[in-house]
Structure 1
Amino acid sequence: MTFAVLPADAGRVRVVVVGAGPMGRAWLHTIVADDAIELVGIADLAVDVADDAAGEIGMAALPTGPDGVELARRTGAQAIVDVTVPAAHHPVTLAALRAGLPVLGEKPAAATVAEALSLAAAAQLTGQLFMVSQSRRYNDHLFAARAAAQRLGRAGILSVDFFKAPHFGGFRDEMASPLLLDMAIHQFDMARFVLGADPVSVLCDEYNPAWSWYAGDAAATAAFAFEGGERFVFTGSWCSPGQETSWNGAWRLSAERGTVLWDGDNPPTVDAGGDGAGGADGAGRVAAPAAPGDGIAGSLREFAVALRTGAEPMGRVHENILSLAMVEAAMLSAREGRRVTLDEILEASLATALGVERDPEVRAVMAGWASPRDALRAGV
């Protein structure tokens, strides 16, 4: 499915940021540093917080308000950057899409797969781009690991260890599944990117160490089967002090003609059995193709390019939903102690979305899908 692009003479992309909390402020600093983007407003239900954020970036006179769409209309914005809490992603993004505004949203696409399917249908209905910023894909070393994997033939097992001990405070400390829902989606999405394949099923064990400061389960092991027979195993903890891994995790890919190792921070290394198939130099380092940019700056840049050219960006909602579905499948598997298929999650989520959708036109789009997986593969 194509999406609307800006006029050729549109110049810088004019955006309103919705959400002025800590992550919103990180986005604000990134936006004002990008010559292709013009920040024209900040929206937050707490307008004084938006005003404070504007002052923090040296733009105290910037228009602010409680409603992103109203502020976009008032300032002539051409797009919304949604950096609200996950529970607000669906109403904020839906309102923007229905107002004819493309959206770049923080991950996850929505609080649930059902809500994400609704947003995919809304993007299809309106012809507007909804792109999810899965920011850890924007990493030169990850691109190099993927390139090496492609040269090593069929993948067998891709594994990642993730051990950190952050004291966030706030909503993460109270979440039911903080590691899986707020962090593991990054590694799940990165695994899809490295393997160039999609998941079929998962068996997951989730638990909370006795010393954990989180209310919900902060540790998990999830083993996914992928459509080509590959396996992806995630093992992690968010209450593991000492010898912490990178925020990206520590990766190992075992493939047909060799192995790729990546510590998450430095360039990956490859052992191709001495035949050079991995494309490494003499030190075993992999030649690194460039990512479109780094972190949220990369996703912002790709969003702007997509709006100008119509080029398909990473993280477009229909492509991103399976990463969120991996999270819900892992959580259900842990709760019920059984293997869960991704299609089970997608079908149940579509049924839920159809049952609760208040917009009849959005509901009609979803009702017309032969199956959610087929609709996502077709780019809805």
Structure 2
Amino acid sequence: MKIIQVGSSGWAAGWLEYIHNDPDCELAALVSRGGPNLEAAKEKWGIPDEVCCTDYDEALKREADLVIVALPHKFHIPYAKKAVEAGKNVLIEKPLTDNIQEAEEFLKFMKGRNERAFVSQNYRFRPQLWQMKASFGDDGIGRPAWANVVFRHGVTNRKNSEKTAWQRKDWRREQTSLLMLEVAIHHFDMLRFISGSDVKSVYARGWNPAWSDLEGLGSAFVLLDFENGFRANYSVTEKSIGFPTGYQCDWIMQTDKGAVKWENDEPNCLDMSVDEHGELKQDFYFPGKDRAGVLEDVKRQLRGEPGCVPTVFDNIRSLAVSFAVLRSVEEDRSVEVSEILGEM
């Protein structure tokens, strides 16, 4: 798969590593403003000068199967539209946008086109999540009923702790809500994936801790009701003090036979009822972790095979949950996700 990538620094630099390590991928063009970040990428991954360019329009004239837009959120849709107009499929970093009206316009633009527009929700690609999903059913660990999902990040003296990208004072803080659109949207998307259902309604309470340097929402408790009857209790804070969770959250998944615990990216633990028998499947399909899985899944979809990297038409339902939570916090009421989607 020949790839044009836009962006060479920060998160975009990580994409170069995944492309380099995938034997089925070839970097057709790297679009960058230049500077030390580009030079570092060229040296690290052996990228020839002729692959690099500063002119996006010129890069789009090259033969490619996919354009990866790995830029700050405000550039996602403008660059994606140019790629599609040039006849290219596109993979856009999340969030698709922080403006629901812009999302609506892009969906109208994409309707009826042959080109595909995907959104990289890389947190879907965790082996523990796929193992749980593969193990559901009467012949496995039972049918999912609800989940308790907790995300805590912030300040800690724990050894080897690091300042996350979400805590940096950069373009991420320009979003409508860093907490909902940079952080929580990952977890809403994971819940949609594991439940196999869309969110019907949310009720949320949110606040910003007194010690927070974020503008707007810094913490929230969210109740989510899904269309298939599944429920989730979600707690999120970007300004906790102590005991941080992994990026993928700490999970308790309750089924009608028992519960699965997933914490700190460790292997799943299963606790079955004394009257029930079941086990987590050890043999299950998994395309790869994080963005390696995203690339593998996109390749499958471009070959006409089924996959789970969401297109923009699917991802809008995760984005809408984030906006529904913001409305619920602001108006102190339960919000139907259809309210957000109906305004599009």
What's the CA shift for 1:229? Answer: 2.1
Tell me whether 1:128 sits opposite 2:115 in the alignment. yes
Task: Answer whether contact 1:54 1:62 (CA < 8 A) is retained.
Answer: no
| One of 139, 151, 169 as aligned partner of 1:162 | 151
Residues 268-287 of structure 1 correspond to what in structure 2 (within 5 A)?
268-275=268-275, 277-280=277-280, 287=282
SS for the counterpart of 1:17 is strand
CA–CA separation in structure 1 for the residues paired with 2:219 and 2:317: 21
Q: Which residue of 2 aligns with 1:190?
A: 190
8 A contact 1:78–1:102 mirrored in 2? yes
- Are 2:2 and 2:27, in contact at CA under 8 Å, matched by a contact in 1? yes
How many residues are treated as equivalent by the alignment? 330
Question: What secondary structure is seen at the aligned counterpart in 1 of 2:220?
Answer: strand
8 A contact 2:300–2:307 mirrored in 1: no
- SS of corresponding position for 1:157: strand
User: Closer, same or farther in 2 for the Cα pair 1:346/1:273, shift >3 Å?
Assistant: same
Q: Equivalents in 1 of 2:67, 2:149: separation in Å?
A: 34
* Equivalence for 2:257: 257
The offset of 1:63, in angstroms, is: 3.2
Amino acid aligned to 1:297 = A
Q: Shift of residue 105 of structure 1?
A: 1.4
Q: Distance in 1 between matches of 2:294 and 2:88?
A: 17
Q: TM-score, normalised by structure 1?
A: 0.80
Q: Is the contact made by 2:3 and 2:66 (CA closer than 8 Å) also made in structure 1? A: yes
Are the equivalent residues in 1 in contact too, given 2:29–2:59 (CA < 8 A)?
yes
Question: Is the Cα contact below 8 Å between 2:9 and 2:38 reproduced in 1?
Answer: no
Contact 1:31–1:37 (CA under 8 A) maintained in structure 2: yes
1:376 corresponds in structure 2 to none
Percent identity of paired positions between Structure 1 and Structure 2: 29
Q: Counterpart of 1:179?
A: 179
Contact 1:260 1:271 in 2 (8 A): yes
Deviation at 1:35, TM superposition (A): 0.9
The structural deviation recorded for 1:265 is 0.6
Give deviations 1:140-185, integer Å, cap 9, x for gaps: 1111122334444443321101001143221234545222110111
Q: Is the 8 A contact 2:12 2:70 kept in 1?
A: yes
Query: Is there any run of 5+ residues in structure 1 with no aligned partner, and where?
Result: 1-12, 281-285, 351-380
Find the residue that maps to 2:49 and give its secondary structure. coil
1:149–1:253 contact (8 Å) kept in structure 2:
no
2: distance between equivalents of 1:346 and 1:49?
A: 42
Larger % of helix: which? 1
2:329 to 326, 329, 334: 334
Note the C-alpha offset of 1:320: 1.8
* Equivalent residues in 2 for 1:8-19, closer than 5 Å: 13-19=1-7
> Given the alignment of the two structures, is residue 239 of structure 1 paired with residue 239 of structure 2, yes or no?
yes
Which digits, 9 at most, give the CA deviation of each residue in 1:298-317, with x for residues without a partner?
Answer: 10121122223444443122
Q: Aligned with 2:88: secondary structure? A: coil
Contact residue 176 and residue 217 of structure 1 kept, 8 A: no
SS at match of 2:193: helix
2:96 to 95, 109, 119: 109
Deviation at 1:256, TM superposition (A): 1.8
Partner of 2:160: none
User: Secondary structure of the equivalent of 1:201?
Assistant: strand
Q: Given the two structures, how large is their TM-score scaled by the length of structure 2?
A: 0.88
What SS does structure 2 have at the residue aligned with 1:238?
strand
SS at match of 2:112: helix
Amino acid at match of 1:307: L
- Tell me if structure 1 keeps the 8 A contact 2:201–2:335: yes
Q: Matched residues in 1 for 2:116 and 2:277: separation?
A: 38
**For each residue in 1:36-69, what CA deviation from the matched residue of structure 2 results, as whole angstroms up to 9, or x when unmatched?**
111021123x344674343443225143334434
Contact 1:103–1:129 under 8 Å retained in 2 = yes
* Distance change in 2, residues 1:275/1:114 (3 Å): farther
